[in-house]
C-alpha cells in the first residue's frame, strides 16, 4: 500500500522555516558599564572649600576668644541703677568667680518642704531638695541651691544662676 500526497502544493507551504531571531544589540568594547557623569565643576569645589575654611577659622576664633578673653561677660544689671555691688577685690581674677570668703559668708539652712514657696529643686543640678537637706540661699534674690552646687558655681561665676543678678546681700541704703 502506498500513499501519495494529495496536494503537493499544500506540503510545500508548511515546510517553510520560521524567521530568524533578531540579532542582539552590539556589545561595547569595554567591560565596565557605561554611566553618564556630570562634568566636574571646579567653581563649586572651590566655593565649598572656602566655606569650610571660613567655618573652621570662625570656630577656632570663637574658642580662642572664650579661652583668653579677660573681660567678664557684659553686665546688664549695671543699666538698672547704682546698686551696691560686691567689692571688686572679692572677684577672683584667675578663676573669674567670687572670692571664697564671700562664698562662705552666704547663709546655710536646713530645707523644709513646708517653708518652700516657689523653689522645690536646685536650678544648677535640677535635683529636688530633700527634707532637712543643707541648702544655701542668696539673700538678695532669695534663690535656694544645694550647698555644693552653688559653691562650685560661684567659684566660676559672679552671678546668681537663676536671675543672673550680681548682688548677693541686701545692703541698707
Q: What's the pLDDT tens digit per position in 21-60?
A: 777 666 655 555 666 667 778 888 899 999 999 999 999 8
Range of the domain at 118: 100-156
Q: How many structural domains does the chain have?
A: 1
In a domain, 140, yes or no: yes
Read off the pLDDT of residues 60-80 as tens digits, 9 standing for 90 and up: 888 888 877 655 544 444 333
In a domain, 79, yes or no: no
In a domain, 119, yes or no: yes
Q: Identify the DSSP state of 110.
A: E
In a domain, 5, yes or no: no
151-159 contacts, C-beta under 8 A, 24 or more apart: 151/103, 152/124, 153/124, 154/97, 154/98, 154/102, 154/103, 155/95, 155/97, 155/98, 155/100, 155/103, 156/95, 156/96, 156/97, 157/96, 157/97, 157/98, 158/72, 158/86, 158/91, 158/96, 158/97, 158/98
- Rounded to whole angstroms, the Cα distance separating 83 from 166 reads 10
Q: Among 4-8, 33-37, 96-100, 154-158, whose mean pLDDT is lowest?
A: 4-8
Q: Identify the DSSP state of 72.
A: P
Read off the pLDDT of residues 112-142 as tens digits, 9 standing for 90 and up: 876 656 678 898 999 988 888 889 988 888 8
User: Residue 124 is part of a domain; what is its CATH number?
Assistant: 3.30.40.10
In a domain, 28, yes or no: no
In a domain, 16, yes or no: no
Q: How many CA atoms lie within 13 A of 49 on its CB side?
A: 6
In a domain, 71, yes or no: no
In a domain, 135, yes or no: yes
Amino acid at each position: 500500500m502506498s500513499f501519495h500526497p494529495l496536494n503537493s502544493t499544500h506540503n510545500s507551504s508548511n515546510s517553510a522555516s520560521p524567521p530568524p531571531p533578531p540579532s542582539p544589540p552590539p556589545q561595547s568594547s569595554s567591560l565596565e558599564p557605561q554611566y553618564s557623569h556630570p562634568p566636574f565643576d571646579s567653581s563649586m569645589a572651590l566655593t565649598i572649600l572656602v566655606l569650610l575654611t571660613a567655618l573652621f577659622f570662625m570656630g577656632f576664633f570663637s574658642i580662642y576668644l572664650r579661652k583668653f578673653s579677660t573681660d567678664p561677660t557684659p553686665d546688664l544689671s549695671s543699666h538698672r541703677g547704682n546698686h551696691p555691688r560686691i567689692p571688686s577685690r572679692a572677684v577672683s581674677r584667675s578663676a573669674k568667680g567670687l572670692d571664697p570668703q564671700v562664698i562662705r559668708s552666704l547663709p546655710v539652712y536646713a530645707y523644709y518642704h513646708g517653708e518652700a514657696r516657689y523653689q522645690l529643686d536646685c536650678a544648677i543640678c535640677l535635683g529636688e531638695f530633700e527634707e532637712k537637706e543643707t541648702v544655701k540661699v542668696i539673700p538678695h534674690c532669695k534663690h535656694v541651691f544645694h550647698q555644693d552646687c552653688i559653691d562650685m558655681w560661684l567659684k566660676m561665676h559672679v552671678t546668681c544662676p537663676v536671675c543672673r543678678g550680681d548682688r548677693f546681700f541686701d545692703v541698707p541704703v
